[in-house]
Amino acid sequence: MTARQTETLTINVGPQHPATHGVLRVLLDLEGEVIVGCRPVIGYLHTGFEKTMEHRTYHQNIVFPARIEYLATFIEECAYVLAVEKLLDVAPPPRAQVARVILMELSRIASHLVWLGTSVLELNVTSGFFYCFQAREPILDLFEMVSGQRMMHGYIRIGGLAWDLPEGFVPRVRQVMEALPRQLDDLEAMLTDNLIWRRRTEGVGVLSAADALRFGCTGPLLRGSGVGYDVRKAFPYSGYEQYAFDVPVGTAGDAFDRYRLRMEEMRQARRIVLQALDRLPSGPWIVDDRKVALPPRPELVRSMEAVIHQFKLVSEGLHPPPGEVYHAVESPRGEKGYYLVSDGSNRPVRVRVRSASFNNLQALPVMLQGHTMADVVVVIATVDPVLGDVDR
């Protein structure tokens, strides 16, 4: 009998592949079915958002964040607006802050539901996909009710919100939140003790805490490996320090842990939403600073000054002081930050989008090493990259 000859085979996955969650291309070196090397190739969705944002005024840029990362839209909008507010040193009124928290946490639930839906679909749990999207639908309806748009809202404004929350919003959110635990329980009943699901996820895509930290991974990827870093707790914003919520942390750092953790995050997000609904104050929804926010419509017919302010804000935009700030939020994928550099003029010198998906995806080769070809789909799914955010 002769010794078996093996050779390394390089195969290409993507960029057009249903399991890559967008246009991600991965080059895999295989020995038999075992992965010995992995090179992610990105950039297929590069649209030059950062360059575009440098050419527009601060207010015009509000529309871009939700288009960069299209699953957690309100979180993205808030990330940018919070950075501009930090630059201006402006605090939105309490009603706007609480409303933002409600919308951000609803976004988190919606995003995690898309993640779970697409992930289970890849492992042939087709019905799970429909359950997840069914649960997400009423949340998008809420977004439509608030902003008129299901995804690209443009509702968060520098200094507050575009308009007040609509009448009947609070009871409808309560209704949606009431239905959620049952829906999550159903999904977990279908998956957690499912032998196939466990075999496909347990011990797959293990990322050690040390590796996660070295690669700058954040979000569920880092917390799944046992490091409890959550921007909402570490660097609170929008009053997150006033809410009671837990940050779930995994132990094994495998795909199963990340699944459990995201399920728990949805429950915690619901907990925050319910607290925020209880404390939602009445009052103004945008700052009363004419150098930052547009004057209210009725004032325009009475006050010449208001007309001038309106004209200046629309035709020139606002002028933050020279300086630079970084503001991060906890997106469903990890730390999402905006680094803004201002020279005092009406447009930013530099807008840097610190994307969680970009750093998380970099750890993919480490997670895939030694696994089989079939696990690639699972590991990419639990990294949960949004390619628009990776490539910007």
Partner 1 sequence: MDAGALAARVQAHLGGGQLERVEFRGEVTVIVPADRVLDALEAVRTAPGGPWMLTDLTAVDRHPAEPRFEVVYLLTGLQPPVRLRLKARLPGARPVIASATGLWPGANWLEREVYDLFGIRFEGHPNLTRILLPDDWEGHPLRKDYPLTEEPVQFIGHVPKVPSAIIPTSPPRR
User: Contact between 207 and partner 1 (CB under 8 A)?
Assistant: no
Other CB atoms within 10 Å distance of the CB of residue 374: 11
Instruction: Please name which of 385, 390, 384, 377 lies closest in space to residue 18, comparing C-alpha atoms.
Output: 377
Q: How far is the CB of 170 from partner 1 (least distance, A)?
A: 33
Choose the stretch contacting partner 1; rule: CB under 8 A; options: 85-93, 162-170, 256-264, 296-304: 85-93
Q: Rule CB under 8 A: which of 247-306 touch partner 1?
A: none
Site membership for partner 1, residue 359 (CB under 8 A) = yes
Q: How many C-beta atoms lie closer than 10 Å to residue 32's C-beta?
A: 13
Question: ∠ CA(100), CA(333), CA(381), 5° rounding?
Answer: 135
From the list 39, 36, 41, the residue with the least C-alpha distance to 369 is 36
Task: Return left, alpha or beta for 197; rule: phi > 0 is left, psi -120 to 50 is alpha, else beta.
Answer: alpha
Please give the single-letter amino acid code of residue 33.
E
Per the structure block, which two tokens stand in for 282? Answer: 């009445």
Residue 300, token pair as written in the block: 């325009």
Indicate the residue among 76 and 391 with the shorter CB distance to partner 1.
391
- Shortest Å distance, C-beta 206 to partner 1: 17
In the bound complex, what is the minimum distance in angstroms from residue 359's beta carbon to partner 1? 6
Q: Which is closer to partner 1, CB of 317 or CB of 332?
A: 317
Q: Give the residue among 105, 57, 106 at the shortest CA–CA distance from 80.
A: 57
Nearer to partner 1, 136 or 327 (CB): 327
Which phi and psi angles does 77 have, rounded to 5°?
A: -60, -45
CA distances, 186 to each of 190, 232, 385 (Å): 6, 28, 25
The Cα-based distances of 196 to 25, 107, 209, 377 in angstroms read: 27, 30, 27, 15
- Alpha-carbon distance of 123 to 119, in angstroms, equals 7
Task: Name the minimum Å distance from CB 229 to partner 1.
Answer: 6
Least Å distance between CB 43 and partner 1? 4
Among 25, 27, 50, 267, binds partner 1 (CB under 8 A): 50
By the rule CB under 8 A, 336 interacts with partner 1: no
What is the smallest separation between the CB atom of 55 and partner 1, expressed in angstroms?
5
For residues 31 and 316, which CB has a smaller minimum distance to partner 1 in the complex? 316
For partner 1, how many residues bind (rule: CB under 8 A)?
Answer: 52
Does 42 bind partner 1 (CB under 8 A)? Our answer is: yes
Q: Does 48 engage in binding with partner 1 (CB under 8 A)?
A: yes
On the 0-12 / 13-18 / 19+ scale of CB atoms within 10 A, 142 is buried
- Would you count residue 310 as binding partner 1 (CB under 8 A)? no
* Minimum separation from the CB atom of position 246 to partner 1 (A): 17
Task: From residue 168, give the alpha-carbon distance in Å to each of 63, 101, 173, 360.
Answer: 26, 18, 9, 39
93 vs 320, beta carbon nearer partner 1: 320
216-235 residues in contact with partner 1 (CB under 8 A) are 216-217, 227, 229, 234-235
| Residue choice 13, 24, 28, 57 for contact with partner 1 (CB under 8 A) | 57
Q: Which residues in this chain contact partner 1 in the complex, by CB under 8 A? A: 42-43, 46, 48, 50-52, 55-57, 60, 86-87, 89, 213-217, 227, 229, 234-235, 315-317, 319, 321-326, 328, 335, 337, 339, 341, 343-347, 349-350, 352, 354, 358-359, 362, 391-392
